[in-house]
A and B are shown apart, each in its own frame.
Chain A
């Protein structure tokens, strides 16, 4: 029981990170009907910029108060990834809008490779470490087994990740469902031509969608860095594929679906590693995706197209 609860906490933490990345996939897919394959790498540069800014602030400039340092790190990293998200859309996607569907896919993969190689060359291929910054936690439960006592720990880091994700998700959902910006985004998703006829600047709305997704990926990048303490140029690919899987599992285009999918992938991965074997954790996640898609082709919360238009 204690072991189960501990895995649950670990899974939710990891799932939060996947969920935040998955939102970027799902929103971009929703608005332009295309998978932004460069999104995983935006998460990766989010982590790298976080690390760089963190080191500059603490080692070079001598800042010591952690909450302020982290806040600055987060803001700078979000600014950079947003700018990058905006640039990717501008360079790789907008010029190809209206051409055949696979063309932007190819430029997306190109952008992804460019970024990975850039980071690999400038930062090296070896992992970059960051010593743990936020330590400690609370003990939720205590139990004993034949092997000895086992503790259920909720670390402060995990608490921060889960809470931040919760807050961001709530804010984001409100933004999409209640504000005029969110309405304009949904309008562009459903009928771009009509949205323009109502005065919506479609190009700008699409750019903003990329920027929002990229900003969330930066948050995920910082969380990943703090949680695991090591990053390399390749983390974007793995996390990206999993977040993409999460978005499809939850129902691509659906915001709550992306979050749910992220949590599920995180849980599956952690539980599989915890109860079976670490080696096959990714296989497990993808198998479950395949099974779900057989029975629910549009994902868990995706909307099958039933309306007449």
Chain B
């Protein structure tokens, strides 16, 4: 399934600063409803900054971010999240002193409680490992388990747009495959729109309908996943000798 063509998220000319340091230098990105879009780029390119700027922390200094027809550029983070955006952020950010269950409950904080049981079941079907660890404290989970929990927690909020920041980081190939399969399934079966940041360019571009390449705070290339996979510059910079 590909996108319906209707724009769900539009990022226009966004510049983001950390104090005086510029991290995004006029970024344009579009994510259509029902699409999987990926953003690849080297360390420090500004990928995570873009993810967080979409969520309003830090806020864009110039430019505009429109989600679902609404200008969210200057909205506080918690209000943006009420609109149906969820993020599994860089570094996973599991609540260390809460159990797996409580972390998932936090994910569902904005959702009508009547959905909870059912959503929980779905997350456990996706990641059976989490079910075995339900009472364990988040801080004591393994890295892979934490990643699953971070994605599961994001899903518990029933997002329309799921932002994933390097879900494959530090995971065994088998788990990476499992997580990418899960993303594909969710997109196909539920029409979930996904915006994915990855260093694992090979997998990400194969999974995504479209992709962007970010270099030093600028978008330098974009196209369908297949197109980008063929491009010489992409192969040289992100694939050959890369992590696939």
- Knowing A183-B105, A309-B139 are in contact, say whether A196-B81 is a contact too (CB < 8 A): yes
B73 at interface by CB-CB < 8 Å: no
Contact: A199 with B87, CB < 8 Å? no
Cross-interface CB contact of A199 among B82, B94, B105, B138, cutoff 8 Å: B82
Chain A residue at minimal CB-CB distance from B142: A308
- Knowing A303-B97, A308-B139 are in contact, say whether A193-B109 is a contact too (CB < 8 A): no
CB neighbours of B98 from chain A (8 A): 183, 186-187, 190
Contact: A199 with B95, CB < 8 Å? no
Q: How far is the CA of A183 from the CA of B104 in the complex (A)?
A: 11
CB neighbours of A146 from chain B (8 A): none
Chain A residue at minimal CB-CB distance from B163: A197
Q: Give A194-220 interface residues, CB cut-off 8 Å to B.
A: 194-202
Q: How far is the CA of A97 from the CA of B157 in the complex (A)?
A: 29
Cross-interface CB contact of A186 among B78, B89, B95, cutoff 8 Å: B95
Contact: B96 with A190, CB < 8 Å? yes
- Knowing A183-B105, A187-B106, A307-B139 are in contact, say whether A197-B95 is a contact too (CB < 8 A): no
A279 at interface by CB-CB < 8 Å: no
Q: Return A6 CB to nearest CB of chain B, in Å.
A: 40
Q: How far is the CA of A145 from the CA of B81 in the complex (A)?
A: 71
Q: Return A64 CB to nearest CB of chain B, in Å.
A: 47
Contact: B97 with A200, CB < 8 Å? no
Q: How far is the CA of A273 from the CA of B95 in the complex (A)?
A: 44
Cross-interface CB contact of A309 among B55, B78, B96, B105, cutoff 8 Å: B96
Contact: A199 with B57, CB < 8 Å? no
Interface residues on B, range: 20 to 34
CB neighbours of A231 from chain B (8 A): none
Contact: B109 with A197, CB < 8 Å? no
A interface residues, tally (CB under 8 Å): 21
Interface string of B57-92 (1 = CB under 8 A from A): 100000000000000000011100110000101000
Chain B residue at minimal CB-CB distance from A191: B93
Q: Return A76 CB to nearest CB of chain B, in Å.
A: 33
Q: How far is the CA of A191 from the CA of B102 in the complex (A)?
A: 14
Contact: A191 with B78, CB < 8 Å? no
Q: Give A157-199 interface residues, CB cut-off 8 Å to B.
A: 180, 183-184, 186-187, 190-191, 193-199
Interface string of B30-43 (1 = CB under 8 A from A): 00000000000000
Cross-interface CB contact of B95 among A180, A190, A202, cutoff 8 Å: A190
Contact: B139 with A183, CB < 8 Å? no
Chain B residue at minimal CB-CB distance from A194: B93
Contact: A307 with B109, CB < 8 Å? no
Q: How far is the CA of A170 from the CA of B106 in the complex (A)?
A: 23
- Knowing A183-B105, A194-B89, A309-B139 are in contact, say whether A199-B96 is a contact too (CB < 8 A): no
Contact: B57 with A198, CB < 8 Å? no
Contact: B89 with A197, CB < 8 Å? yes
- Knowing A303-B97, A307-B97 are in contact, say whether A196-B57 is a contact too (CB < 8 A): yes
B residues engaging A (CB < 8 A)?
Answer: 55, 57, 76-78, 81-82, 87, 89, 93-98, 102, 105-107, 109-110, 137-140, 153, 157
6 A-B pairs closest in CB distance: A307-B139, A199-B81, A194-B93, A196-B77, A307-B96, A199-B110
Question: What are 22 contact pairs spanning A and B, CB under 8 A?
Answer: A180-B105, A183-B105, A184-B109, A186-B98, A187-B95, A191-B93, A193-B57, A194-B89, A196-B57, A196-B77, A197-B77, A198-B106, A198-B110, A198-B157, A199-B78, A199-B109, A199-B157, A200-B78, A200-B106, A307-B96, A307-B138, A307-B139
Known: A193-B57, A196-B78. 8 other contacts (CB 8 A): A186-B95, A199-B78, A200-B106, A202-B78, A307-B97, A307-B139, A308-B139, A309-B139
